[in-house]
Amino acid sequence: MASILVRDLEESVKERLRSRAARHGRSMEAEVRDILRDVVKNDAEPSDGLGSDIARLFAAEGLRADEALPELRGHTLRGLSGA
């Protein structure tokens, strides 16, 4: 297993880690390991951006990557409250 040394950690952070570890009934070292595991397991690959994500969602509806979408300026939206 690897080891990591953390320098210049603020005393307030250390105390909060100590309190958190005590609440969970484990050592500070075990608490830090658990925190790091949680952070990296939820760390997904960065997305290509919102537009790309939306295009991917609607690809099954016939939207192609090279297809331009028409703008809807000047159109009235129906069925929305307040519109």
Three-state helix/strand/coil letters over the chain: CCCCCCCCCCHHHHHHHHHHHHHCCCCHHHHHHHHHHHHHHCCCCCCCCHHHHHHHHCHHHCCCCCCCCCCCCCCCCCCCCCC
pLDDT on residue 6: 92
Q: Is residue 52 part of a domain?
A: no
Segments forming the whole domain that contains residue 24: 11-41
Summarised one tens digit per residue, pLDDT across range 50-82 is 888 777 777 777 767 677 766 767 777 676 665
Higher pLDDT, 30 or 1: 30
Q: Is residue 83 part of a domain?
A: no
Q: Is residue 25 part of a domain?
A: yes
Higher pLDDT, 49 or 69: 49
Q: Is residue 27 part of a domain?
A: yes
CB 33 within 8 A of CB 41: no
Summarised one tens digit per residue, pLDDT across range 7-48 is 999 999 999 999 999 999 999 999 999 999 988 886 766 667
Q: Is residue 24 part of a domain?
A: yes
Q: Is residue 1 part of a domain?
A: no
Q: Is residue 78 part of a domain?
A: no
Q: Tell me how far apart the alpha carbons of residues 34 and 12 are, in angstroms, rounded to a whole number.
A: 19
How many structural domains are present in the chain? 1
